[in-house]
Amino acid sequence: MIRVTAFRWVPPFARGQVRDLRVRWALEEAGLPYEERLIGAEDQRSADYRKQQPFGQVPVYEEDDLVLFESGAIVLHVAEKSEVLMPADPHGRARVRAWLFAALSSIEPMLMNVAQIQLFDADEEWAKLRRPSAIDVALRRLKALSDWLGDAEYLEGGCFTAADLLMTTVLRIAHGTGLLAELPTLDAYRLRGEARPAFQRALAAQLAAFSES
């Protein structure tokens, strides 16, 4: 049985954003059953957990004798087991991998910069000075993504893939900042991903753990 670690509690603003959501969604799309292992701060600090996840984060993915960390790497691993999330042809698979890296390297850091300022540092003088340039950089990256997407429903090949799964979860960060209000193409793309039944099941599973806590 596949097992995925997740937090048993996070503040309300983080619910629906914690990175185990990406892995849950990939597993739901692939039709692979899994069980959750809920952890808290004491587990994150433990030596046993740090052997699985060097930084004490979630998720950790366990499958037989395989242990993986980092949500992007886990999503890629799951996708490579599933025809739903990866195309069959080698070139198509390579393009999907490129977009997986783009979501995590070219888009997510810029959105996280804006979210960090707005959520945690908005009253700091340095943040007030930094915010306009952070927003400008993020919007330029998002505009480039929007231009690439154009009228297409998905990033590559006309079919939903792991690239769209990961990009959608990244864009959900932007939704919380208001950045997508200026880019309706990307907001519609995000909403298409969130409307998928597998996403809804994954989100419900994550939120249920917080409700039980």
> What pLDDT shows up at residue 129?
77
CA-CA distances (angstroms) from residue 15 to 18, 111, 143, 162?
6, 17, 27, 22
Domain boundaries, the chain: 2-84+198-212, 90-196
> What pLDDT shows up at residue 158?
87
Could you tell me what percent of the chain has a pLDDT over 90?
84
73 vs 68: CA distance, rounded Å: 8
Over residues 67-80, mean pLDDT: 98
Which CATH architecture group holds 2-84+198-212?
Answer: 3-Layer(aba) Sandwich (3.40)
Q: Residue 127 — pLDDT band, cuts 50, 70, 90? A: low
Q: Does domain 90-196 have CATH number 1.10.287.1040?
A: no
Q: What is the pLDDT of residues 52-72, one digit of tens each?
A: 999 999 999 999 999 999 999
Is the predicted pLDDT of residue 130 greater than 70, yes or no? Answer: yes
Alpha-helical (H) ranges within the chain are 20-30, 41-45, 47-52, 71-79, 90-102, 108-120, 125-149, 162-175, 184-194, 197-212
Q: Residue 211 — pLDDT band, cuts 50, 70, 90? A: confident
